[in-house]
Amino acid sequence: MFSRTAKYAIMALTELAAGDRSLKIRELAQAAGIPQPFLAKLIPPLVQAGIITSTRGKRGGLAFAHPPEEISLAETIRAVEGDRLMLDCPFSLTPCGGQEDCPLAPLWDPVRQKIVAFLEATSLAQVAKRRKR
């Protein structure tokens, strides 16, 4: 259901939220178990979405633009995938978003809405806290 891109974004930001300092891309990739080149491609959309900041230089690194308690999993996924999450349908190759002519919309839409609600209500900090256990 979730793309590798979305999973890696959540894994990386959860790892960043679990720490108490900024991290270099290399450090974050290693800690999260993500290939560094893949993580490097995720950074620009996360910065553009205002989720993280990226500072170059010796004292630079990746840090949250605002507290991870305020960043939902849905926001993270949207940053790297756009609205695919809201429009994806496991029964169609093209995004349908619950169109009236979709015979499966009445079955799938309630499930999709619950998944989206869960992702909206769950913060990176909550996941990071559970990860530490």
Confidence of residue 2 (pLDDT cuts 50, 70, 90): confident
What residues contact residue 66 under an 8 Å CB cut-off, 6+ apart? 50
- Two structure tokens written together for 81: 């995938």
Express the helix, strand and coil content of the chain in percent, nearest 5 each. 60, 10, 35
Confidence of residue 4 (pLDDT cuts 50, 70, 90): very high
> CATH number of the domain at 4-132, please?
1.10.10.10
| pLDDT the model gives residue 87 | 76
* 3-class SS of residue 72: strand
Confidence of residue 99 (pLDDT cuts 50, 70, 90): low
* 3-class SS of residue 45: helix
| pLDDT the model gives residue 97 | 61
Q: Tell me the average pLDDT across 45-54.
A: 97
The ranges assigned to domains in the chain are: 4-132
Read off the pTM.
0.89
Per-residue pLDDT of 70-96, as tens digits, reads 999 999 999 999 987 777 777 777 666
Q: Tell me the average pLDDT across 43-71.
A: 94
Q: Tell me the average pLDDT across 15-32.
A: 92
| pLDDT the model gives residue 115 | 92
Sign of CA dihedral 35, 37, 38, 42: positive
For residue 104, the 8-state DSSP code is: T
Confidence of residue 13 (pLDDT cuts 50, 70, 90): very high
- Two structure tokens written together for 114: 């619950």
